[in-house]
Amino acid sequence: MTPFLTAFFSGTAQGAIYALVSLGLVLVWRSAGVVNFAQMGQAMFTTYIASQLIQHSYSYWSAFLIALISGAALGALVDLGLMRPLTSRKNSQLLNSQSMRTTIPVIASLGILGVLKALAGIFWAGEERGFPSPVAPNAIKIGDTSLAITGFDLFVIGVVFLTLVLTTIFFTKTGMGLAMRASALNPEVTRLSGIKVGSVRTLGWAISGIASSLAGLLVTPRTNLSPNTLDLLLIIGFTAAVVGGLSSLAGSVLGGFILGYVISFVNVYSAPENVFIAILAFLLLALFIRPQGILGSKEVRSV
């Protein structure tokens, strides 16, 4: 196996997971105008729930399903319990200033992240634990040469592909998906045409919760699970979303795969300790060359 193909295959599998994280971030950004820094904290929490269920001898798939449902519930809860009251309060003196309206939700999401991490530590002792995968992580062989891709990698790529197809169908073929796109584009007009913009927003948070829970379930068989393991995924997902365009769903997926290849090629051709610096350099480069992202539109970005 040449190093190039090794990097390519592992980049595809990693990129699929980054695409999910970045998709989750963009969903919330488009529907609520908030970058949710607690997103992978929520995913960490639901992955712990799945892990507990599996330890209590539930099957992998029922735990998988419950994790996704609790991901949706947690996302909706964050919106209803925190973000909606926060952004609807217009009379607050602090929120009157332009810059603080975008800053306060960021701080709130960091608060949620801190609370979720501490709760996970209290409930589940906080030590690193493994997480099972439904497919054995053995390299696939064709004849005698083993490929640099494992059965689990194929499983990840398959699940993500299925999710992306379902998301596309949801946004292009269903009324609810159309309502979400409309309210992201112009909330006032959408409200006038009789759509409950608030509920649509909560739905955006819930779908984002499902996408990030899925990312948590798919990444932890490789990285193990602890309150802090998914932090890195958030940073990579954010970079992917900015590279692809925070305002574009397709862009976020593209950005995820690009980041997957960048990280995997840096890992193979350079050294693992260069990864963080590569991410920072890549993010700054993207912001300088094309601040609205590859597929983003210029107007939507509020600078």
| Binding interface with other proteins (CB under 8 A) | 29, 34-35, 37, 82, 85-86, 92-100, 102-104, 106-108, 110-115, 117-119, 121-122, 125-126, 231-232, 235, 238-239, 242, 246, 271, 273-274, 276-277, 279-280, 283-284, 287-288, 291, 302-303
* Distance in Å, CB of 236 to other proteins, minimum: 9
| DSSP one-letter string for 16-50 | HHHHHHHHHHHHHHHHHS---TTHHHHHHHHHHHH
Total residues belonging to the chain: 303
Tokens of 202: 């909560």
CA 62 to each of CA 52, 56, 79, 219: distance values in angstroms, whole numbers, following the listed order: 12, 12, 26, 18
- Rounded to whole angstroms, the maximal C-alpha distance in the chain is 70
In the complex with other proteins, the residue whose CB is nearer, 26 or 211, is: 26
CB of 224 to other proteins, least distance (A): 18
Strand duo 139-142 + 145-150: pairing: antiparallel
Question: Quick check: helix, strand or coil at residue 139?
Answer: strand
- Kindly state the smallest distance separating residue 270's Cβ from other proteins, in Å: 10
Q: In angstroms, what is the minimal distance from the CB of 92 to other proteins?
A: 6
Residue 86 or 178 having the CB closest to other proteins: 86
Residue whose CB is less far from other proteins, 120 or 157: 120
Q: By C-beta, is 142 or 271 nearer to other proteins?
A: 271
- Comparing CB distances to other proteins, the nearer of 33 and 151 is 33
- Between residues 221 and 260, which has the closer beta carbon with respect to other proteins? 260
Report whether 22 contacts 40 (CB < 8 A): no
* In the complex, minimum distance from the CB of residue 100 to other proteins, in angstroms, rounded to a whole number: 6
Within a 10 A sphere around the Cβ of 44, how many other Cβ atoms? 27
Q: Tell me the closest approach of the beta carbon of residue 256 to other proteins, in angstroms.
A: 15
Beta strand segments in the chain, E: 139-142, 145-150
Three-class DSSP category at 150: strand
**Euclidean distance between the first and final Cα of the chain, in Å?**
46
